[in-house]
Amino acid sequence: MVTTSAPDSAGPSPSGAERAEATNGRAFEPNADRSSPNRNLTPLSTSLDQHDRLLVGGCRLEELAVTFGTPLYVLDEATLRSTCRAYRDSLERFYPGPSLALYASKANSSLALSALVASEGLGLDAVSAGELLTALQGGVPPERIVLHGNNKSEQELELALTHGVTVVLDNWHDLAILSRLAPGRPGPVRLMVRFTPGIECHTHDYIRTGHLDSKFGFDPDQLEPVLRHLAGCAWAHVDGLHAHIGSQIFELDPHRDLAAVMADALALARSLGHPCSDLNVGGGLGIRYVASDDPPTIQEWVRCVAEAVATACHERNLILPRLLCEPGRSLVATAGLTLYKLGSRKEIPGLRTYVSVDGGMSDNPRPITYQSRYTAVLAERPLADSAGLVTVAGKHCESGDVLLHDLALPQTESGQVLAVFATGAYNASMGSNYNRIPRPAAVLVNNGEAELVQRREQPEDLLRYDVVPSRLGHLP
C-alpha cells in the first residue's frame, strides 16, 4: 500500500461553473450527477490541491506515475462502489419483484474488481474460462455467476457445471456439448436461453448485438424449437431468458421495445413447462467520454427497464420474473483513467503537432478499433490555458496509433504526465503485447492510498511461453 495524498490538498474542486469556465469545458466540467457516475467525465473523487494539481482518490496523479511507472491504469474505488450501489438500489426502488445486477466482467476482469462487486452484492457474467476462474477466485458466489459465449469450449462448460454456474445457452452447439456433459450429474444444469430480439440501436456496428444479423443467440424462429427440445431434457432446468441489444446506448426506447419482446418469449417458455424465473435484459447503457456525450442516468435507465418489464408482464398476466441486467462499461469506465508520460514532439507547420506518449494501442486499442474519443489533461496543469491543438500519438510502429485528435493542451514538455479519463472499460481487457510491449500496472485508489491490483509486466515476462525448436540450436 502506498500513501500518496497531498498534504496541501484543497479538497473537492470548486464550483462546477467556475471549473467549466476555467477549462473551456475540458475535464473539469461540473459533475452532471454524482449519483450516476456514467454522466461524469472524471471519477467522483477527482479534486485539485492548492496548486491546482490533479488528484483522484486523494492521490496526486503525477506522484502515482513516479511511484508505479507509466503507462498506469488508475481505478477509483469510490466511483466503483457508487456505481454498483446506483444499479443495486435503483433496481430495488423501481422494480416490484426480485432483481440482481451482474457485472459484465469482459469490460475489465481482475481479482480485485471481482471482489469489489461481490462485496456490493452484485453478480457477474463471464465469457471465458479465464473470466470465470477470476470471478470464482475473486469471491463471487457461483449462484450469482452466468457464463456467456457464442462458441463455448468443452473445458469452459465443464468448469461451469463443476461450480454450479448458470450457463447462457447461445446455440445448438452449446446444447450438443451439454447433452454429453450434463447427464448423470447430481442435479440439473441451470440454463438461460439467449435469443436475438431484432432491435436496432444507434451505436457502432461492431457493438450491435440485438439485431437479427448477429453471431449471438438463437434467431427468434428458433426459440420455440429449442425450448421444446429442452422440455425433453431431464438434465436441463431453464431458469430464464436473455437478450442484449448493444453497447454505449443513449436511447431508452429500444429497451422498452425489448421488454415487450422478452415478455412474449417468457410467456412462450412458461407455456412449454419451463419455470423461467429470470429475465435478463443485458446491459448497454452508455457513458460520457467527451463533454458532448449525453447518456441517461443509471436511475433513468433502470426505471425505464423495470417499468417496461413490469408493465409487459402485467399485460400478459405473467408472474413477475427476477429482473437481471448486465452493466459493464457503465459500471467501470468512469472509475478508470490512464496515466502516460509525454515524450517526443513533432511539429508540422500549418498541418499538425504530434505529442507522443509511452503507451498507445497496446493499452488502449479503442481509438484505432472504434475511432473512440476521450478527454485528457496534463495531471500537473489541468487548468492551464491552451497553447493550441495537438495530436496525442502512441509509441507503436503503426501510423494509426493515435489516442487523441485535436486535444487542447498548454505548452508541453517531455516527462509531463497526461491523464486520459474514462479508460476503466475495454482498455486493460482489450490490451495486447503489440511490438512486445509489456502490459501496464493497475492501482486502486481510495482516501489517499494507492494499492497495486495488477503488477506491471516486464520484458522478460514476454519470453516465458516462447519455445525454440531444438533444430534451431541452443540460445545463449
Catalytic center residues: 397
> What is d(CA 112, CA 117) in angstroms, rounded to the nearest whole number?
9
Helices and strands in the chain: count of H runs, count of E runs: 12, 22
CA neighbor of 258 nearest in space, from 305, 307, 300, 226: 305
- The residue type of 102 is L
> What is d(CA 299, CA 34) in angstroms, rounded to the nearest whole number?
12
Residues of 160-179 as b/e, b for ≥16 C-beta within 10 angstroms?
Answer: bbebebbbbbbbeebbebbe
Strands (E), 281-395: 322-325, 336-348, 352-357, 376-378, 388-393
How far lies 346's CA from each of 368, 412, 414, in Å? 20, 12, 12
- Answer for the pair 35, 84: CB distance below 8 angstroms, yes or no: no
Residues of 230-247 as b/e, b for ≥16 C-beta within 10 angstroms?
Answer: beebebbebbbbbbbbbb
Can you spell out the DSSP letters for 255-274? HHHHHHHHHHHHHHHHHTT-
Q: At what angle do helices 298-315 and 77-94 cross, to 10 degrees?
A: 30
395-2-44 Cα angle (round to 5):
75
Other beta carbons less than 10 A from residue 474's beta carbon: 6
Beta bridge pairs of residue 392: 355, 404
> What is d(CA 385, CA 383) in angstroms, rounded to the nearest whole number?
6
Cell of residue 298, nine digits? 443509471
How far lies 203's CA from each of 189, 257, 297, 429, in Å? 35, 17, 18, 20
Other beta carbons less than 10 A from residue 214's beta carbon: 17
> What is d(CA 275, CA 252) in angstroms, rounded to the nearest whole number?
29
CA neighbor of 454 nearest in space, from 174, 110, 173, 176: 110
CA neighbor of 181 nearest in space, from 145, 140, 152: 152
DSSP 3-state of 171: coil
